[in-house]
Amino acid sequence: MSSPLSTEASETAEAAPEPRSYEVRTFGCQMNVHDSERMSGLLEAAGYVRAQDGADADVVVFNTCAVRENADNRLYGNLGQLRPVKERNPGMQIAVGGCLAQKDRDTILAKAPWVDAVFGTHNVGALPALLERARHNEEAQLEILESLEVFPSTLPTKRDSVYSGWVSISVGCNNTCTFCIVPSLRGKERDRRPGEILAEVQALVDDGAIEVTLLGQNVNSYGVEFGDRLAFGKLLRACGQIEGLERVRFTSPHPAAFTDDVIESMAETPNIMPQLHMPLQSGSDRVLREMRRSYRSAKFLGILDKVRERIPHAAITTDIIVGFPGETEEDFQATLDVVERARFSNAFTFQYSQRPGTPAATLPDQLPKAVVQERYERLIALQDRIAAEENAQQVGRTIEVMATAQAGRKAEETHRLSGRARDNRLVHFSVPEGAQAPRPGDLVTVTVTSAAPFHLIADPASAADYALRRSRAGDAWDRSQADSCGVPSPGAGGAGPAVSLGMPSIPLRSA
C-alpha cells in the first residue's frame, strides 16, 4: 500500500503541465545564426523544449535580417502562413526579433497583429519575459532598446553543433558604408576583452568542439575600443595556444583595416585555417568611393597577393554587389576584371537592394531591374567558371576533411558523406568497403578525385586510400545523441543538427 505522501507526489507529477515547445527560425548572416543559439538557450533556461521536427511549436521565434529587401517579404510571408495555425491554437505565441524588428518596430504589429512579442538586436535577453508578459496581459509586447545593455555572450546559449561553434569577439560596426543598414541596427562597435573570448573558446573545447569561428561585423578592427590596433592578430595567436582546438576561422574582415600582422598570424599559427573571406563589393574605384568603402581595388588585390604569398593554398571568398546606384558598364567591367584577377574560390553575389534609412537609397541613378539582372548573370557566369577552374586544381590533392552532420542533396543516391576541408571547401566523400565511417566531428584524410564549381568529391579506391581519425568532437557527438535519446549512427549524415562552418556552402543566388 502506498503512503498518502507518495500518492500526493504521484498526483502532483501527473498534474504537472507539459513544457512548452519552441522553434527559432533564422534569416540572415552568421551573427544572426549565433544570436539564434542564444535565443534557444534563453528559452531552454526558462523551461521550454525544442519542438520535434514536423511538430507545431507552442512558440515560434523569427530572428530577422534587414540587409536585403526580400528579407521583409520573407518574414511577412512566414507570418501570414502562421496566422491560421495560431487561430486553431490560441495558446500559440509568435515573436519577432533581430535586425528587421529593430528597424520596423511598430510596423510589424501593424502588418501582423497576431504577433505576440517584438524585440530588437540590443535586448535579446528579454525574450522569455516578453513572452510571459504577453501571455499574462493578453496583448502584444514591443520592446526595442537603442543601445546594448548586456553583451550577448553573457546569455545562455544552445549550440547548434557540438563539434563546431561560433564565438563573438565584437558587436556593432563603426563603418559608414552607404548601402548598409547594419550600423544603425547593431550600433557602434563594442569589443569583448580577450580573456573573455578565450575563456568562451576554452569552454567550447572542453565540451568537445575542435573548431571555432570568430565573429564580428569587422573582425580586424577588433581592439579599437580598448586602444590596441594589433589586438586581432594577437587573438589569433592566442587561439593557437589552446590545446585541442584544431581549426580556427573568422568572418568578416574589412579590406581597409586588414593589416600585415594578421596575415603573419594566419601563416604562423597552425590551427588558423587557410581560408579568408574578404568582401570586395565592387571592383570600380569610383563606385567604392560612392559606397564609402575606404580602400581601392589595387589595395584589395595587394592584400590577396600577400595572403597567397604567405599561405599558398588559401581559399579566398568574397561578397559583391551588382547594380549600385550610378554603376556604369565601365564600372561593372572593372568588377569583372578584379574577379578575374582575384580568382575567388567562391563569391556571394547580390543585386543592390534599396534600403530605406541608408544614404544610397536616396542617390540618383537607381538602375533598372533589367540592367542589374543582366549584369548579375554575367558576373555569375564568370565566377562559376573561375570556381570550377580553381576546384579542378584540387584534384589529386590529399586533404583532411572534418565530417559534418549535413548530407549532400544526392547522398541517398551516391552514399557519400559530407564535410569541410581545412580551407572550408565542401567535400563529398565515400567510405571504402570495410573501412569505418566517421561520426560528425571526426576527421578523414582522402584524395580529391573530381571537382565541381561548388564542391569537391573524394572516392577512395580502397581502404588504403582512406584514413580515419576519431576525435573528441566525434565523442561529443555520440554523447549529444545519447542525451537526446538518439542512436549514434556513424556516418549517418543529417542525423543531427546542421552546422555551417563560417560561410554558406553554395553561393547565394537570390536577388
- Classify residue 163 by burial, with Cβ atoms within 10 Å: 0-12, 13-18, 19+: buried
Chain centre to alpha carbon of residue 60: 20
Is 239 marked as binding a ligand? no
SS3 for 467? strand
Is 485 marked as binding a ligand? no
Round to the nearest angstrom and report the end-to-end CA distance of the chain: 70
SS (H, E, C) 3-17: CHHHHHHHHHHHHCC
Q: Determine which helix (DSSP H) or strand (DSSP E) holds 101, and give its type and residue range.
A: helix 99-104
Contact 174, 127 (CB under 8 A): no
Whether residue 168 is preceded by a cis peptide bond, meaning omega within 30 degrees of 0, is no
Residue whose C-alpha is closest to residue 451's, from 377, 394, 399: 394
d(CA 37, CA 40): 5
* Cell numbers describing residue 3: 503512503
Contact 123, 89 (CB under 8 A): no
Q: Give the 3-state secondary structure percentages of the chain, helix then strand then coil, rounded to 5.
A: 40, 20, 40
Residue whose C-alpha is closest to residue 476's, from 157, 205, 197: 205
d(CA 301, CA 284): 12
Q: Determine which helix (DSSP H) or strand (DSSP E) holds 289, and give its type and residue range.
A: helix 285-291
Which residues face 165 on adjacent strands?
212
Q: Annotated binding site, which residues?
A: 29, 65, 99, 173, 177, 180
Binding residues for [4Fe-4S] cluster: 29, 65, 99, 173, 177, 180
